[in-house]
């Protein structure tokens, strides 16, 4: 298939021809509810596992520093451990570039099974690494290698999971079903943090250094097996199957990656902008705030972590409700509300956080958490809808991970540096406001996709009755478009008559034309 066979949206011409045919009731995909639930659970569990590791590593970083860098000072140990953690963000875009296009070629389910295996094994292997006291410098080297594998596999995880849920979901419920992906994120982080908190509370220091720190990483093994089992039980998404059938008679283009970038650069930029505000606010609240409370405000570290965990538990309850709301009112109003909220309420929230009162600190954090729900509840459905089926996984994986690596993952470090350099404790609020401005500008130019079929896919319904409703809506939409076209034709015809009337020769010829039939008038 040559480049000319691809549309401006990166969609194969054969798929365009298919879409131009009359839509019939049998063309609408009716989603099996049991299969949809399994698909959502399988995708969300992978995301939960990624953030389970994130929570475990963040909470046990001090202990890991003593295990893998015992000859360094306490601050150097912590920095070295966090630097090893941050390395994973550097390889995430590489993972997205590898797994994303691969998922568009061989299927979402196969690639998501591979990323689950890699994440589970690499996390489990961290628990097997001998200490520095046993094997010396090889201990931190093995830890670094495990983190690189984690980061590489994670690069293909979110884009694939979001694509998987979006392509399985009915058009009218895509926001609600997609919201469970970020429910998994919050659940994984809370579980990891809770396990580490329990270990540090019930084990003495010597036991924790000896073997206790390994326990959370070993738990990743069973979690990975459960996730792999769920993913292997699933078939490919209906949208991918339709795409694969449409391409059976045409070879895959060699320059698909270049074409994806050149044909979809606007959608890619929109995706980067939306992911920027999504992840800056996410990492600010979930990753940076515990350190901000303890290091900058002198608040008790354990209490700060507990407050953030409580906020996350409330967010988990609100999460599906926001997804449902985005199906009713649209993705744009929900995301825009979050941007405006961060722009207006970031400073008041940080003023509450800086009071030192536990109740007011919780109130400030809760405001930020509920605003973040506007993104976590709507983004998993909004982002996959930016791209056509043929390149959805690859485009989303690349744009998402580039944005996360450049902006999201650097948020805690950059914000801490700003506070340190300026001495202004309001810097996190200003940073959130800047991200909100970028997010608002981006969402305003983003087309609304709620209750609409994904690009390059046929409509999708929850049941046969809804399929009939979608077909009726499709026909009504065609009638409205025809009315608009007819109105525009009348306007053009009136404009034509007005111009002809202003030109004596054309006006004369126009009056003679009926008498001379259809033959053109002589000049």
Q: What's the per-residue H, E or C state across 374-417?
A: HHHHHHHHHCHHHCCHHHHHHHHHHHHHHHHHHHHCCHHHHHHH
User: Is the predicted pLDDT of residue 8 greater than 60, yes or no?
Assistant: no
Note whether 45 and 151 are same-domain residues: yes
How sure is the predictor about 51, in pLDDT bands with cuts at 50, 70 and 90?
Answer: confident
What is the model's pLDDT at position 14?
A: 43
Buried (b) or exposed (e) across 128-142, using 16+ Cβ within 10 A? ebeebeeeeeebbeb
Whether residues 440 and 477 fall in one domain: no
Place of tokens 């409700």: 321
10 Å Cβ neighbour count for 67? 23
Confidence at residue 429, expressed as pLDDT on a 0 to 100 scale: 96
The predicted model scores a pTM of 0.84
Same domain, 449 and 474: no
Cα-Cα-Cα-Cα dihedral sign, residues 41, 47, 53, 56: negative
**Which pLDDT value is given to residue 3?**
36
For residue range 63-121, list pLDDT tens digits in order: 888 888 887 666 666 667 667 777 788 899 999 999 999 999 899 999 999 999 998 89
Smallest Cα–Cα separation from 141: which of 123, 156, 157, 126?
A: 126
Q: Average of pLDDT values for 353-367?
A: 94
Asked whether residue 395 falls in the same domain as residue 482, the answer is no
- Among 90-104, 289-303, 422-436, name the one with the lowest average pLDDT: 289-303
Take residue 385 and report the two structure tokens written for it.
């809808």
How many distinct structural domains can be found in the chain? 2
DSSP letter, residue 485: H
3-class secondary-structure state, position 12: strand
Q: What's the rounded mean pLDDT across residues 459-465?
A: 84
- Report the chain's terminal Cα–Cα distance, integer Å: 48
Beta bridge mates, 6: 12
Residue 32: DSSP 8-state: P
**84 within some domain:** yes
On the question of pLDDT at 12 being above 90, the answer is: no
Percentage of residues of the chain with pLDDT beyond 70:
89
Residue 2 lies in a domain: no
Residue 493 lies in a domain: yes
3-state secondary structure of 6: strand
Q: Is residue 514 predicted with pLDDT exceeding 60?
A: no
pLDDT in tens, 319-341: 999 999 999 999 999 999 999 99
Flag whether 16 is in a domain.
Answer: no
Same domain, 455 and 480: no
10 in a structural domain: no
Which CATH number goes with the domain that contains 126?
A: 1.20.1250.20
355 and 496 in a single domain? The answer is: no
Does one domain contain both 429 and 486? Answer: no
Whether residue 112 is found in the same domain as residue 197: yes
Question: For the chain, how big is the Rg over CA atoms in Å?
Answer: 27
Q: Is the residue at 325 inside a domain?
A: yes
**Pair 390, 18: CB distance under 8 Å:** no
pLDDT tens-digit series, residues 234-283: 888 888 888 887 776 555 555 666 776 678 889 999 999 999 999 999 98
Q: Would the pLDDT of 2 be above 70?
A: no
User: Is position 20 within any domain?
Assistant: no
Q: Please state, rounded to an integer, the average pLDDT across all residues of the chain.
A: 85
Whole-number pLDDT of residue 166: 94
Domain that holds residue 297: 26-246+254-462
User: For the chain, what percent of residues have pLDDT higher than 90?
Assistant: 42
Residues 39 and 83 placed together within one structural domain of the fold: yes
Give the model confidence (pLDDT) of 134-169 as tens digits: 898 898 899 889 989 988 998 999 999 999 999 999
Do 172 and 211 sit in the same domain of this protein? yes
* 437 shares its domain with 474: no
Of 239, 286, 263, nearest in space to 428 by CA: 286
Residue 407 shares a structural domain with residue 485: no
**Residue 296, pLDDT score:** 83
Helices assigned H by DSSP within 203-330: 205-210, 215-232, 238-246, 256-263, 265-283, 289-291, 301-329
Lookup: tokens for 403: 């944005």
Q: Residues 209-219: pLDDT tens digits?
A: 889 999 999 99
What pLDDT is attached to residue 415? 87
Q: Is 19 part of a structural domain of the chain?
A: no
């Amino acid at each position: 298939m040559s480049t000319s066979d691809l549309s401006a949206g990166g969609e194969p011409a054969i798929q365009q021809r298919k879409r131009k045919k009359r839509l019939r009731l049998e063309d609408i995909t009716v989603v099996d509810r049991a299969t949809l639930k399994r698909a959502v659970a399988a995708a969300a569990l992978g995301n939960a596992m990624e953030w389970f590791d994130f929570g475990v590593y963040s909470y046990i970083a001090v202990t890991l520093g003593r295990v893998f860098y015992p000859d360094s000072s306490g601050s150097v140990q912590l920095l070295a451990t966090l630097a090893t953690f941050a390395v994973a963000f550097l390889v995430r875009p590489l993972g997205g570039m590898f797994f994303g296009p691969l998922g568009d070629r061989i299927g979402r389910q196969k690639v998501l099974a591979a990323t689950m295996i890699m994440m589970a094994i690499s996390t489990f292997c961290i628990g097997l690494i001998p200490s520095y006291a046993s094997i010396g410098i090889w201990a931190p080297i093995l830890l670094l290698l495990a983190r690189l594998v984690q980061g590489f596999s994670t690069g293909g995880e979110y884009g694939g999971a979001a694509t998987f849920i979006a392509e399985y979901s009915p058009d009218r419920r895509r926001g609600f079903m997609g919201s469970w992906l970020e429910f998994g994120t919050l659940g994984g982080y809370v579980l990891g943090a809770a396990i580490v908190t329990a270990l540090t509370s019930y084990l003495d220091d010597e036991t924790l250094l000896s073997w206790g720190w390994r326990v959370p990483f070993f738990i990743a093994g069973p979690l990975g097996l459960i996730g792999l089992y769920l993913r292997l039980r699933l078939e490919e998404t209906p949208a991918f199957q339709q795409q694969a059938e449409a391409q059976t008679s045409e070879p895959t283009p060699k320059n698909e990656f270049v074409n994806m970038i050149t044909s979809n650069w606007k959608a890619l930029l929109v995706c980067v902008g939306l992911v920027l505000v999504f992840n800056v606010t996410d990492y600010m609240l979930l990753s940076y705030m515990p350190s901000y409370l303890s290091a900058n405000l002198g608040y008790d570290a354990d209490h700060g972590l507990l407050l953030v965990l409580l906020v996350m538990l409330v967010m988990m309850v609100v999460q599906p409700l926001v997804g449902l709301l985005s199906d009713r009112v649209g993705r744009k109003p929900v995301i825009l509300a979050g941007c405006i909220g961060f722009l207006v309420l970031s400073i008041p929230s940080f003023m509450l956080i800086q009071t030192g009162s536990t109740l007011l600190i919780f109130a400030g954090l809760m405001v930020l958490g509920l605003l973040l729900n506007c993104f976590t509840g709507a983004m998993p459905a909004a982002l996959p809808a930016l791209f056509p089926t043929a390149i959805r996984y690859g485009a989303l994986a690349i744009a998402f991970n580039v944005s996360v690596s450049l902006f999201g993952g650097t948020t805690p470090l950059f914000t801490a540096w700003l506070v340190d350099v300026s001495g202004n404790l309001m810097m996190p609020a200003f940073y959130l406001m800047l991200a909100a401005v970028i997010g608002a500008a981006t969402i305003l130019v983003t087309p609304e996709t709620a209750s609409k079929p994904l690009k390059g896919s046929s409509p999708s319904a929850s049941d046969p009755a809804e399929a009939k409703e979608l077909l009726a809506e499709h026909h009504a939409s065609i009638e409205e478009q025809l009315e608009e076209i007819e109105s525009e034709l009348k306007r053009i015809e009136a404009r034509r008559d007005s111009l002809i009337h202003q030109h004596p020769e054309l006006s004369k010829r126009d009056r003679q034309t009926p008498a001379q039939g259809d033959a053109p008038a002589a000049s």
